[in-house]
Amino acid sequence: MNGYNTLILEHHSTPGGGAPPCLYSGRQVIQLLCRKDNKEFTTK
């Protein structure tokens, strides 16, 4: 995080690119947000 409560996610941040790495990166961002809000991250 950059101190401004902003998380940046882009498809160029993972070598190889494509949909699967984007989905994984998105999941990591959601996990960070849940941790920040003291909420449990769950998947169904």
Which of 2-39 are b and which e, b meaning 16 or more Cβ less than 10 Å from the residue's Cβ? eeeeeeeeeeeeeeeeeeeebeeeeeeeeeeeeeeeee
Q: Whole-angstrom Cα distance, residue 14 to residue 40?
A: 26
pTM of whole model > 0.85? no
Task: Please write the tens of the pLDDT for every residue from 1-44.
Answer: 455 667 777 766 667 767 777 777 788 888 988 998 999 999 88
Side chain identity, residue 29? V
